[in-house]
Amino acid sequence: MIKFRAYDLILKKRNGSALSRAELKYLLDGYVQGVIPDYQMSALAMAIYFKGMSEEEALFLTEAMIDSGETISLEAIPGTRVDKHSTGGVGDTTTLVLAPLVAAAGIPVIKLSGRGLGHTGGTLDKLESIPGFKTDLSESELVTAAKNIGVAVAGQTKNLVPADKMFYALRDVTATVDSIPLIAASIMSKKLAAGAESLVLDVKCGSGAFLKDYKQACNLARLMVDIGKGAGRETVALITSMEQPLGKAVGNALEVEEAILTLRGEGPSDLEELCLMLGGLMVFLSGHVSDPDSGKAILKKLISDGAALKKLNELIVNQHGNGGVTEDVSLLPKAKNRVNVKSPENGFITMLKAEDIGLAAMALGAGRETKDALIDPAAGITMEKKIGDRVESGDTLAVIHAGSDTSAELISSLEGKIISAYRFQKENCGKPQLILGRIDQKDR
């Protein structure tokens, strides 16, 4: 076995040289085993932050993270397993729609998701707003669910990619989270360890996204696609806008209700459009159709004939939730107080800052400022008016959904914050572009 010194490898990276597969594996294994201390891994993270990584290095780092723990084998599940990942945003309800929708097309979907932190929501928190829903599933339960009904959505198992969990926690307190290669390796290590054969990525950019800049989003998407290619997994990325919240709902139970409406064919047009685009790519990568547009056509039919909503019901019931919510959304948690936020002027809406809306929803209890903060499943905001809409003074822009213990002072403050997230002008700027770009493995 080759023996290295962490000091030498940190120095090598600091000086701008590439680390080998063996060197990165040594560092990650040593960190997980407690041989390499936090302060040295912090120095490595900072060196990577400033010096970057080559595509090959990022692949080696991803592989080392995967090798640090267990992987999930989905070989017992028939068909091509396709996964989807979103880099997160405000009102991003796509997983709740896509998982049952694509599964209804006969394509097995095993989705390992996370919890929300800050102004972006978490899929597990949303699903747990359904009474009784269980997100803690073992690998055997995941495989059984996929065999029986074709779909499962659960939390990441404890032994999956432990190096990423540890390294991310370190990056979080050393100002090195926003490093493109470290983000790419973190995301792709979890996706590849979870066993999918093909992967569709939804890389958000704009006000409500982690990456605000289009060029940065493209760089991240391209690197993740390259890592997927290097790992032998077909990978496609869409760059999508998060300048304003996706759909109308921001909040856990509110987004579950919106997902149900979307699978009924009654959801917001932007959420439906994005889900059909992502889903069409998933159906295409599964080999069921010859192009993504044909995949979209199949998914549209599954919404119109009720098969997609039925599959959501099966998913909920299989994971011990109250399946009645798909027929009666009043069974979901409801906020005690609803406050209409009124437009202060006439005109067309030209801006709706997604991050400000996400932060306002977090303040209501829909999100977490810290990892141990409690969630109010009923809290949130619904956007009644969005970019391109015409409003008159006094029209309702948004509705605040607050708990009975939410103070009048906080609600008043959030009304002002929501109003300030909007911009108005006399001329109509039109609806914003939702799909900003696409990156395939052939794009170079």
Active site residues: 85, 164, 171, 186, 190
230 backbone dihedrals φ, ψ, rounded to 5°:
-65, -30
Q: Are 101 and 311 in contact (CB under 8 A)?
A: yes
Q: How far apart are CA 384 and CA 397, in angstroms?
A: 5
Specify whether the backbone of 365 is left (phi greater than 0), alpha (psi in -120 to 50) or beta. Answer: left
Burial of 31 (0-12, 13-18, 19+ CB in 10 A): buried
The amino acid occupying position 444 is R
Contact 157, 73 (CB under 8 A): no
d(Cα 252, Cα 257) in Å, to the nearest integer?
9
- Token pair of 144 as six digits: 């059984």
Helices (H), 173-291: 180-193, 214-230, 252-263, 269-285
Q: Is 419 exposed, middle or buried (0-12, 13-18, 19+ CB in 10 A)?
A: middle
Strand partners, 307: none
Of 164, 12, 186, 197, which Cα lies nearest the Cα of 87? Answer: 186
8 Å CB contact between 190 and 201: no
Distance CA 412, CA 396 (A): 15
Q: Hey, is 278 helix, strand or coil?
A: helix
